[in-house]
Amino acid sequence: MKKKIQENLKEDIKLLEEIGFCVNIIDLKFYFGKYNELREELSKYNACCVMGGNVFVLRKAMELSGFDIFLKDKKSSDNYLYIGYSAGSCVLSDNLEYLKTIDEPIIFYNQTKVNYEGIGFVDYLFIPHYKSNYHKVHLIEDLINKCKNENIKYKAIKDGEVVIEQIK
């Protein structure tokens, strides 16, 4: 694991533990093609926190592991908490294609195509890092302008802000 990823993960764990969560890291790569094993592992918990990164790499990992199916099965549960930030929130949108202006839609995990279909839990495009100290902040402004011009429903969220949605 790259040093920057390890540092971010360590900080994320610390923050979650400070607010009372017991953290167990589950790497979706280890569950590619093993949906039943992943479902069994995830069924031990009432919550998950999905980190950021490249939205298209994350979405593909969700697809290959079956995590997207697990989430859709949990959608109607009143006793499940999904915490996502950055790409972890973006994947909840219906369509991820507009996000290719911010994240490169790279083909990853020896696959042949990018998955632009989001999980579909929210009916808007989730745009993180709005007016924040983020290296691609100028691209976010461009995306917001595009959404406005094309009447695309979106929510632009500043770092540190929270959106709470009850998914049904």
Give this prediction's pTM: 0.90
The tokens describing 56, both together, are: 């298209």
Task: Please compute Rg for the chain using Cα positions.
Answer: 16
* Average pLDDT score over residue span 154-163: 92
Instruction: Tell which residue, 54, 37, 31, 57, has the closest CA to residue 110.
Output: 57
pLDDT tens-digit readout, 91-106: 999 999 999 999 888 7
Which domains does the chain possess? 3-156 (3.40.50.880)
Query: How much is the pLDDT for 157?
Result: 94
pLDDT tens-digit readout, 3-40: 777 888 888 889 889 999 899 999 999 999 999 999 99
Query: How much is the pLDDT for 118?
Result: 96
Q: What is the DSSP string of 33-69?
A: T-HHHHHHHHTT-SEEEE--S-HHHHHHHHHHHTHHH
CA dist., res. 53 & res. 41, Å (int): 23
Query: Which residue is associated with the tokens 């009372």?
Result: 20
pLDDT at 107 over 60: yes
